[in-house]
Amino acid sequence: MNFRSKNKINPDFSMSSMTDIIFLLLIFFMLTSNFVTPSGLPVNLPSSKSSNIVMQKVSVTITPDLQYFVNDKPTAYENIEPELKNLLANAAQGEGVVVLHVDKTVPVEYLVKVAGIATELKAKVTLATLPTE
């Protein structure tokens, strides 16, 4: 009598499907990491307890040596208002958001001047901060 099974199970394990999944995950994380764009200018931001993430359309940066940048483009202080007006022209009423990236060593008066310009243009002003640990 033949008691052996006719269906033989192959004990080999194919790793090809596992490597496909790993490569797909790698491609996914590589693509999504490009969507996070931090501010390109090196400034020491102040820290706060509540740090909300805001979709920034217009970014104004003030460096420690009091240079102004609008969307990472060097701009003189006198040209900030026309530059912001052009960038906020396409935004609907109350939809314009200006995010201020101000170095923590910059005196507050420079922050207030730029925030005043953005407020006159009826834009919401947000100050970029780092979360405290």
Instruction: Name the domain count of the chain.
Output: 1
Asked if pLDDT for residue 43 goes beyond 70, the answer is no
pLDDT of amino acid 72: 84
Give dist(CA 79, CA 83) in Å, integer: 6
Residue 104 forms part of a structural domain: yes
Residue 21 forms part of a structural domain: no
Give me the domain span that covers residue 53. 47-131
Identify the residue with better confidence: 55 or 28. 28
pLDDT of amino acid 50: 62
- pLDDT class of 30 with cuts at 50, 70, 90: confident
Asked if pLDDT for residue 108 goes beyond 80, the answer is yes
Number of Cβ within a 10 Å radius of residue 84 = 23
> What is the arithmetic mean of pLDDT over 110-122?
89
- pLDDT class of 129 with cuts at 50, 70, 90: confident
Which CATH number is 96's domain given? 3.30.420.270
Give dist(CA 94, CA 3) in Å, integer: 82
Provide the whole-model pTM. 0.60
